Amino acid sequence: MMVEQLMTALGVPVAAYTGGTLAVHTPIDGSRIGMAPCDDAASVARKIERAAQAARAWRDVPAPQRGHLVRRFGEVLRQHKAELGELVSWEAGKITQEGQGEVQEMIDICDFAVGLSRQLHGLTIASERPGHHMRESWHPLGVVGVISTFNFPVAVWSWNAALALVCGNAVIWKPSEKTPLTALACQALLAQALADFPGAPECLSQVVVGGREAGMALVDDPAVALVSATGSTRMGREVGPRVAARLGRSILELGGNNAMILAPSADLGLAERAILFSAVGTAGQRCTTLRRLIVHESLRAQVVRRLKTLYAGIRVGHPLQGNLVGPLIDAAGYEAMQAALRQAEQEGGVVHGGQRVLQDAYPDAYYVAPAIVEMPGQTAIVRHETFAPILYVMGYHDFDQALQLHNDVPQGLSSCLFTNDLREAERFQGASGSDCGIANVNIGTSGAEIGGAFGGEKETGGGRESGSDAWKNYMRRQTNTVNYSRDLPLAQGIDFS
């Protein structure tokens, strides 16, 4: 289907995305697919005010009922998975499988959040005082602001929104200026779910369209209790200190520079498949993309040879026509890739692939052959995240050296080890092993399940979203003590009589 048909099927009227000032282009062929209406500072402020009102009403709806709304949203997503997934392909350039997979991730987080809506448990704590009862309660925060990237245009919002909503908050979403149409579509689908939920207040979920300035308006407003910002480390360096300056809360999900250690005992067939999906999938534009392969010297030549053969067979092309790799998001993404490859060469690297392809068929789009770069060591460019399909390959002699190389980058998102040696596997996941938020054994760096907490360390920002107890970020904790005795004993044994 074409974009207009998809938007209509998803409940967004043409006028809602054609009359504005923000030009939206598809990376598939560079053509314009919308003119989205932009928010200014005044309209963002009005939306925040309305969100605060909505949050005041929503917080008193019992959590399991809030879960009903998210369950209904999950049903609506199931009904529209095909159309929304295809729209993701048009707007972000993902191949069919990955566009659909992204919507599946939204459905999965809805299921997770529905279960959670009956499990927002606090502790019961033993009091040191007779006739006293202590417990911990979790209460909604208020307004949650979500800032998201182009490369996961719908899933990142849903990880935040599904949890924020069951936790009793209102949500304002500033999607990437490169992907506002999918955001408007998600909003329309959520509106369908809200229509079946008479208890929900107006403006429980809103979208703010615009670039950095629109994001800043959310960042600086004290009424936004939590800013969950996903994007580059550059963005995080601006957002983190500004939210902290007003003593607000933030979740920062920033850039990664993910590695695989490939040990001599590994199942090479398994490792090859993991490398391909992690390094080449989404045209290397995932925060968890495999960017560094640290391979035992005894395997190095053989693995590079094999990868070159596999890379030669990868079908690059229109993402909705059965290819494995779609386009880069735009010209800037392409130029950053070429600049990184030139720098890698200057630093002693040998580049295989990486050139622009299909230029005749798509002069206004940027398709590339994924690159393998053999590096003499972990030079400056290897330590930098370039958001493109570049896999740097380095050798190692012993496992300590591999771990040292692995951790010697500023980012700390995802990591993996391929081995059949139990000692190596346990060390990798131990305190002196991988320093990343995600450390896998015999699984690639990409494609996390929503059940685990997602996020990374160091310059990746330290935030956690999605599964496990990440929901606690969207609530405030209150310690409650009740005295049901006839005395007033003081803590710490103090006698104040």
Which residues contribute to the site for ligand NAD (CB under 6 A)? 147-152, 174, 176-177, 211-212, 215-216, 219, 230-232, 235, 238-239, 253-256, 287, 385, 387, 413, 456, 460
Cα separations (Å) of 260 from 23, 159, 257, 291, 379?
39, 26, 10, 8, 17
Distance CA 90, CA 84 (A): 10
Choose the catalytic residue: 287, 424, 459, 465: 287
Distance CA 406, CA 446 (A): 16
Cross-sheet strand order for the sheet of 350-352 = 350-352, 371-374, 390-396, 290-296, 258-262, 414-418, 438-441
Element (H, E) at 163: helix 155-166
Choose the catalytic residue: 253, 374, 424, 465: 253
DSSP state of 183: H
Given the complex with ligand NAD, which of 54 and 453 has the nearer CB atom?
Answer: 453
Neighbours of 235 (CB within 10 A): 19
- The distance of closest approach from Cβ of residue 403 to ligand NAD in the complex, given in angstroms and rounded to an integer, is 22
∠ CA 485-487-493, nearest 5°, is: 115
Given the complex with ligand NAD, which of 114 and 329 has the nearer CB atom?
Answer: 329
Q: Is 297 a catalytic residue?
A: no
Given the complex with ligand NAD, which of 105 and 272 has the nearer CB atom?
Answer: 105
Q: Distance from CA of residue 160 to its chain's centroid?
A: 10
Given the complex with ligand NAD, which of 230 and 473 has the nearer CB atom?
Answer: 230
Distance CA 117, CA 134 (A): 23
Given the complex with ligand NAD, which of 395 and 444 has the nearer CB atom?
Answer: 444
∠ CA 471-124-166, nearest 5°, is: 25
Q: Which segments of 313-388 does DSSP mark as H helices, in order?
A: 331-346
Given the complex with ligand NAD, which of 209 and 294 has the nearer CB atom?
Answer: 209
C-beta of residue 429 within 8 angstroms of C-beta of residue 405: no
- The distance of closest approach from Cβ of residue 253 to ligand NAD in the complex, given in angstroms and rounded to an integer, is 3
- The residue behind tokens 């920002």 is 461
Q: Give the pair of three-digit tokens for residue 373.
A: 């770069």
Distance CA 80, CA 138 (A): 34
C-beta of residue 386 within 8 angstroms of C-beta of residue 409: no
Distance CA 61, CA 334 (A): 48
- The distance of closest approach from Cβ of residue 160 to ligand NAD in the complex, given in angstroms and rounded to an integer, is 11
C-beta of residue 348 within 8 angstroms of C-beta of residue 392: no
C-beta of residue 18 within 8 angstroms of C-beta of residue 128: no
- The distance of closest approach from Cβ of residue 463 to ligand NAD in the complex, given in angstroms and rounded to an integer, is 8
- The distance of closest approach from Cβ of residue 173 to ligand NAD in the complex, given in angstroms and rounded to an integer, is 10
Give the dihedral sign, CA 158/161/164/168.
Answer: negative
Given the complex with ligand NAD, which of 177 and 435 has the nearer CB atom?
Answer: 177
Residue 157 class from Cβ within 10 Å (0-12 exposed, 13-18 middle, 19+ buried)?
buried
- The distance of closest approach from Cβ of residue 159 to ligand NAD in the complex, given in angstroms and rounded to an integer, is 9
- The distance of closest approach from Cβ of residue 163 to ligand NAD in the complex, given in angstroms and rounded to an integer, is 14
Given the complex with ligand NAD, which of 117 and 460 has the nearer CB atom?
Answer: 460
- The distance of closest approach from Cβ of residue 386 to ligand NAD in the complex, given in angstroms and rounded to an integer, is 10
C-beta of residue 231 within 8 angstroms of C-beta of residue 93: no
Given the complex with ligand NAD, which of 239 and 470 has the nearer CB atom?
Answer: 239
- The distance of closest approach from Cβ of residue 426 to ligand NAD in the complex, given in angstroms and rounded to an integer, is 26
Distance CA 241, CA 259 (A): 28
Neighbours of 351 (CB within 10 A): 17
Q: State which residue has the least CB distance to ligand NAD.
A: 215
C-beta of residue 106 within 8 angstroms of C-beta of residue 154: yes
Residues identified as active-site: 253, 287
